[in-house]
Structure 1
Amino acid sequence: MTLGQKIAWDDTILPFQLDTADIRGRVARLDGVLDGILKQHDYPMQVEALIAEMALLTALIGQAIKLRWKLSLQVQSRGPVRMIATDYYGPSAEGEPARMRAYASFDRARLSDARPFDHLGEGYFAVLIDQGEGTTPYQGITPIAGSALRHCAEAYFAQSEQLPTRFALSFGKSTEAGGIEHWRAGGVMLQHMPKASPFATGGGSGEGGLLAARDIVGGADAENWSRANLLLDTVEDLELIGPSVAPTDLLVRLFHEEGPRVFDLQAVRFGCTCSEERVRNSLSIYSARDIQTMTTADGIVTADCQFCGAHYRLDPATVGFDAPEGSGDGD
């Protein structure tokens, strides 16, 4: 396969259900999406790896949101990598692709040869869901825990949703003929179906007293969950990333005795929502005097999108709340 050849399941998310175990899940494969995200910046390898993992988690979690909703994952840290932010935009209509974007903020001077996750210090992992205009966004936060971002996501679902959740992820650079490198990522998410039973209370048995799966499910549910996790433990990195193993074949290989049932494949693409209009709206809270302090020696106001790298150049006389109405039209 060459870089220009796209595999049918690249940049897709496949939802499924294990009927005999009362477990749902998703399989994700990212290729062009990661390239679209990472080529916008000259990120060091450690930062690229964290963004790749965060983007994969975002795709796996985001597939469940409704049309036109937005899911955001964020990490805020006191470590060398200060922040990672990802957005997943639900399709605008049935059959349309979802869109994703991501970026990171970091202190290059503090980076080291340590593992990527070790560049996160004390901080938190947050999940935000925006259902659109006129609604109050949902936000759930859990401390950074474990030894990977997937552990943070698992801890979030245990604390905030009380749903046992497990991720198996693989990501890295693939070298094609001619020495061309590009990122690939793949993963599986398992999640126990919600129950009507009362939520667990008190401290958990996980790191720092966080809840773990064993604190939430018991009896036959615990046995089913344990068995599905043991089966997932047999997955290999090449099976997760592909390109030779289709997601449906992977599910049959792992869970054929659990009765896997698949649903419609969801395509995902790199996409940013920035625009000149949004930049103007963000500047509309400033006075002419404030705008003057933002004006360059060349007499313009500039703004860069941290997600896609788009560069905007605006006439200072047309932005801010003192600007004549309609002065920005047609710029």
Structure 2
Amino acid sequence: MSIGSQIAWDDTVLPFQLDRSDIRGRVARLDGVLDQVLAQHSYPPAIEALVAEAALLTALIGQTIKLRWKLSLQVRGDGPARLIATDYYAPAEDGAPALIRAYASFDAGRLAEGADPFRQIGTGYFAMLIDQGRDMVPYQGITPISGGSLASCAETYFAQSEQLPTRFALSFGRTRLPGQAERWRAGGVMLQMMPEASIPAAGEGGSGESGLLHADDILGGDEAEAWTRANLLLDTVEDMELIGPVVQPTELLVRLFHEERPRVFDPQPVQFGCTCSEDRVRQSLSIYSAKDIGHMTTDEGIVTADCQFCGAHYELDPATLGFEAEKGRDGGE
């Protein structure tokens, strides 16, 4: 594989469908994007792994949303990994890159060195929020933390909240190519079926952890057979096939699903990006009174704000902040 081919597939999400069945999916490769996401903070290895997995899931899931929409994933727990948050901003126009950002909040003193990163979350929830834009009510779905990975949580979310059988195969970590510095690479495949089967009646529960729905609870007949067949094929994928750089995503689909007749669509480029700005900071502070703003003011007479996603630092004049300052500017007082 040439260097040009390798670069062409870095930081892309390739949508596809399997024509033999009603299964759609995506193949994602995150390389420079993941490096940039993680370079914003000095995370311990366990937190890095959780952020990498969440960012990869966000890229795979986010590709399905419409232009100008925003997808957010949020994982909250009572363990040392308190919060993992990611955002996917769909492109403003066809052909433009989507933007991804992510960060984590954690209690360093409680992290268990060498322990399974997922176990550092503890008990909590996995949430997905889709913002459709101005004047639209955001959609949010929540499921409990379950399984042994964030990918398992996402699979449970789609089964429980959307009744969509979903499967992820992910690989991520630090790698070093000959003659290059060590860097993060990540890759994954997502499968999803749009079922016509009936959904279990309310109150019956499912076969998943704590009675949560599982794909097997949703599908039946030919759909179940097609879903099982596609999952058995995906089980054969190897880590190096997922993260590359030797196997191109199109070649990977042929290797895995050639009998399922894979069809690919236009790839979606992704890049690291943050939407923070001074105007957004001012807007977030506009709900506070002058007294509240006073409590936020430093000894140096300024109000400071730092973006948790990209590390941008803002210093603002307290006299220009809050709803009372807004009234003053408008001539109301």
The secondary structure found in structure 1 opposite 2:323 is coil
The secondary structure found in structure 2 opposite 1:41 is coil
- Matching residue of 1:98: 98
CA distance in 1, matches of 2:5, 2:307: 30
Alpha-carbon distance, 1:294 to partner: 1.0
- Matching residue of 1:164: 165
Write the letter of the residue equivalent to 2:142: I
Alignment map for 1:50-89 (pairs within 5 Å): 50-89=50-89
- Matching residue of 1:10: 10
Q: 1:231 aligns with which of 233, 247, 250?
A: 233
- Matching residue of 1:154: 155
CA distance in 1, matches of 2:326, 2:146: 51
TM-score, scaled to structure 1: 0.95
Please list every run of 5 or more consecutive structure 2 residues that lacks an aligned counterpart in the other structure: none
Give CA-to-partner distance per residue, 1:49-70, whole Å, 9 cap, x none: 0000000000000000000000
- Matching residue of 2:186: 185
The secondary structure found in structure 1 opposite 2:158 is helix
- Matching residue of 2:24: 24
The answer (yes or no) to whether the contact 2:71–2:129 under 8 Å persists in 1 is: yes
Alpha-carbon distance, 1:323 to partner: 2.0
Structure 1 residues 178 and 16: CA distance shift in structure 2, 3 A = closer
TM-score, scaled to structure 2: 0.94
The secondary structure found in structure 1 opposite 2:287 is coil
Give CA-to-partner distance per residue, 1:217-267, whole Å, 9 cap, x none: 111111111111010000000000000110000000000000000011000
- Matching residue of 2:118: 117
C-alpha RMSD over aligned residues: 1.9
The answer (yes or no) to whether the contact 1:14–1:27 under 8 Å persists in 2 is: yes
Give CA-to-partner distance per residue, 1:54-92, whole Å, 9 cap, x none: 000000000000000000110010011001110001110
CA distance in 2, matches of 1:211, 1:281: 40
Write the letter of the residue equivalent to 2:32: G
CA distance in 2, matches of 1:282, 1:21: 47
The answer (yes or no) to whether the contact 2:84–2:104 under 8 Å persists in 1 is: yes
Give CA-to-partner distance per residue, 1:97-146, whole Å, 9 cap, x none: 10010111000000012110010111000011010111111111111000
- Matching residue of 2:249: 247
Identical positions, percent: 71
- Matching residue of 1:133: 134
The secondary structure found in structure 2 opposite 1:279 is helix
Alpha-carbon distance, 1:322 to partner: 2.3
How many residues get paired?
A: 326
Alpha-carbon distance, 1:291 to partner: 1.3
CA distance in 1, matches of 2:326, 2:189: 53
The answer (yes or no) to whether the contact 1:167–1:190 under 8 Å persists in 2 is: yes
Alpha-carbon distance, 1:177 to partner: 4.7
Write the letter of the residue equivalent to 2:220: G
Task: Answer 1 or 2: which has greater helix percent.
Answer: 2
